[in-house]
A and B are shown apart, each in its own frame.
Chain A
Amino acid sequence: MTHKATSGSQVLSVELLARVEGEGGMQVHVQDGEVVDVHLRIFEPPRFFEAFLRGRAHTEPPDITARICGICPVAYQMSACLAIEDACGVSVPDEIRLLRRLLYCGEWIESHALHIFFLHAPDLLGYPGAIEMARDHRGLVESALRMKRAGNDLMTAVGGRAVHPVNVRVGGFHRLPRRDELLAVRPQLVAAREEAIAAVPVVSGFEFPDFEQPYPYLSLSSEHGYPLESGSLVASTGLTAPVRAFNEHVVEQHVAHSNALHSTFDGEPYVVGPLARYSLNHSALSALARECAEAGGLGTTCRNPFRSIIVRTVELVHALDEAIRLIDGWYGAPVPWVPVPARAGEGHGATEAPRGLLYHRYRIDDQGSILDVQITPPTAQNQSAIEADLRAFVQAHLDLTHEELTRQCEIAIRTYDPCISCATHFLDLRVEHR
């Protein structure tokens, strides 16, 4: 099958996207040389988190919402804590914020190493996956495993384990890590930082399609450095706003051509995640990470989603650098957690998950019983932009063979590191196993 899509009807279809978290597919309909319809199909079954959280205690969401995603549980724990503390009018001491930031660095390291080397790099080197890639590039894969392990071990030191950490609670942590426990991870982080720096020329040496898109970017911005565990909203449109204004700008709407709820930002498709964070917070990167960005050929902004692998690698260097800095400055805290007594109200929380801004909103009663929940994960927010990318990319590359164009579309989707497990409890879906 090598026919080209210049006339007649053609459907580019991937039934099950590989190397993404969760189950999804895509379909692009081309009619007489025009892209007429694009669907990022999600058939991951719904799990109803927003529904069953009602009636639970306000102390429970960190443990429960962690289970939305095994790849980024800390993101859910952190956004949940912030939203509930906001509802109860509590802000945590700075030491606790720093420890949250350190735990979050572990998750970024683990998740970015996974995406860069296991999910994305095989596309660029021409392998179906990292295990096959390891046969020819064993050194690269082993280096990736060591970086990923450094992230996992940091999460274990602070959170107890890498998947669904047990140590996080509303108000702080159940137990403070001892300085020696953190110092034990430091040599691995230092070695991983060297390996991440060495990976910059590798990932920036790939060929990338020339493809830039004009969407607004949305991320957090923080007085505490490159945004992870806290901050306020900032957008490439010039908007700056507190997190509680999220729903004034982001609207989830039902569009006619798809059964998926699409987020729009002030009426447009928009992008959250590494490209947005990097472009809106370049000056907040560590000096080392900025050097890596320059060495990788990045300017102060990046608008080509195919180049996101370079941005993720720069963020990986930053997260390792930041983790080492936080450990070196860690001398404990007066208390592991502060009380967060229930009061009736509504709270908002947003943090930067590896895949982008993750927003939580909780309304609770005066006994702490949860009345209403909204969780807006990054993949749900990026869905409109991913579909718009596919539309533009296919339209511009109809001269490629069917197989090659389909493959390029799948790669384009993977550049966003979509986490369908995260998105699905929220997305409206069309169940279409075929």
Chain B
Amino acid sequence: MADNPTLAVWKFASCDGCQLTLLNCEEALLDVAERVTIAYFPEATSAVVDGPYDISLVEGSITTPADAERIQQVRAASGRLVTIGACATAGGIQALRNFADVSEFMSVVYAHPAYVATLERSTPIAAHVTVDFQLRGCPIDRNQLLEVLAALLQDRTPRIPTYSVCVECKRRGVTCVAVTSSSACLGPVTQAGCGALCPAFNRGCYGCFGPSDTPNTASLAERLRAAGMTGAEVTRLFRTFNAGAEPFRLESLAHEREQVAP
């Protein structure tokens, strides 16, 4: 066991759902535990093996001055660093502060804002340190996580597709919800990984896995506007868990600007 690579799991601002996905690997989890030494995973164990660590999984975004320092320490202690989930890869839902005045947000939630140390923006891990691989999703997909771990152990590139949800949706044989119902669907511009889950449940994709490779967000937005959505609605559609991902951020801003124009 001593020769196994060491694995550490780190948490920044997040809901814990992506770490939970590791525990949700269930039977495969015990197999993983035989191939790697789980050296640091406070949500699962109080045992700590001192670093450095061969593999670090990082959940969450950077939102406080202390965390901006801590991620540097994590990077320094890690062989390969993999970010997991929309918070770590795009800033998460808490990146909605990036479009607002964080001190006003603070006064809404906290009675004594002076006690709370927070940054004006929620930023992805890659904005602070070099990242070796980014695994998307809100939450991440269990099988994609196992594929990434397997690839790291085998020293190869993880096979994670960057094409859109539409490809998965067609493959699954789901009737297109954007065509047959008036559902707003982000599938054409969202990266695959969920298995076209929402269309299979009669609803439009809402963008959990972030922008796909070369997404044509403007074209999709134009179609949504033509179908009757307001600028504010289009802005909100692009502005959720991956609001900080650049193509979604820019598209949300385009329609917000239009909204305030006379």
Q: Which A residues form the contact surface with B (CB < 8 A)?
A: 16-23, 43-52, 54, 56-57, 60, 63-64, 67-71, 73, 114, 118, 122, 128-132, 134, 138, 141-142, 145-146, 148-149, 152, 160-164, 166-167, 169, 174-175, 254, 259, 261, 336, 421, 425-426, 428-431, 433
Among B13, B17, B33, B117, which residue has its beta carbon within 8 angstroms of that of A131? Answer: B33
Among A19, A131, A141, A164, which residue has its beta carbon within 8 angstroms of that of B42? Answer: A19
Among B46, B115, B138, which residue has its beta carbon within 8 angstroms of that of A430? Answer: B115
Instruction: Mark B112-133 against chain A: 1 for CB-CB distance below 8 A, else 0.
Output: 1001111000000000000000
Please determine whether B45 and A129 come into contact, CB atoms closer than 8 angstroms.
yes
Please determine whether B118 and A46 come into contact, CB atoms closer than 8 angstroms.
yes
Please determine whether A163 and B44 come into contact, CB atoms closer than 8 angstroms.
no
Q: What's the least CB distance linking A278 to chain B, in Å?
A: 25
- Chain A residue at minimum C-beta to C-beta distance from B27: A145
CB-CB under 8 A for A421 and B104, given A47-B93, A57-B236:
no
Chain B residues with CB below 8 A from A259, complex form: 112, 115
28 contacts between A and B (CB under 8 A): A19-B42, A19-B43, A44-B13, A46-B109, A46-B110, A47-B13, A47-B93, A48-B108, A50-B108, A51-B109, A63-B240, A70-B18, A114-B23, A129-B41, A131-B30, A131-B38, A134-B33, A152-B26, A160-B197, A160-B198, A160-B201, A162-B24, A163-B18, A166-B203, A174-B203, A175-B202, A175-B203, A430-B115
Chain A residues with CB below 8 A from B21, complex form: 163
Please determine whether B139 and A48 come into contact, CB atoms closer than 8 angstroms.
no
Chain A residues with CB below 8 A from B151, complex form: none
Q: Which B residues form the contact surface with A (CB < 8 A)?
A: 11-21, 23-24, 26-27, 29-30, 33, 38, 41-47, 63-64, 66-67, 70, 92-94, 96-97, 100, 102, 104-106, 108-112, 115-118, 138-139, 194, 197-198, 200-203, 206, 208, 233, 236, 240-241
Q: Once the chains are docked, how many angstroms separate the CA of A222 from the CA of B39?
A: 45
Please determine whether B198 and A149 come into contact, CB atoms closer than 8 angstroms.
no
Please determine whether B112 and A67 come into contact, CB atoms closer than 8 angstroms.
no
- Chain B residue at minimum C-beta to C-beta distance from A44: B13
Chain B residues with CB below 8 A from A122, complex form: 45
Chain B residues with CB below 8 A from A254, complex form: 111-112
Please determine whether A51 and B93 come into contact, CB atoms closer than 8 angstroms.
no
Please determine whether B139 and A70 come into contact, CB atoms closer than 8 angstroms.
yes
Q: What's the least CB distance linking B182 to chain A, in Å?
A: 14
Listed residue (A18, A46, A73, A142) with the most chain B CB atoms within 10 angstroms of its CB: A46
Please determine whether B111 and A22 come into contact, CB atoms closer than 8 angstroms.
no
Among A17, A23, A52, A428, which residue has its beta carbon within 8 angstroms of that of B96? Answer: A52
Q: What's the least CB distance linking B123 to chain A, in Å?
A: 12
Please determine whether A46 and B201 come into contact, CB atoms closer than 8 angstroms.
no
Please determine whether B46 and A19 come into contact, CB atoms closer than 8 angstroms.
yes
Please determine whether A428 and B13 come into contact, CB atoms closer than 8 angstroms.
no
Chain B residues with CB below 8 A from A17, complex form: 42
CB-CB under 8 A for A19 and B44, given A163-B21, A166-B198:
yes
CB-CB under 8 A for A64 and B109, given A48-B97, A433-B70:
no
Among A56, A118, A134, A166, which residue has its beta carbon within 8 angstroms of that of B201? Answer: A166
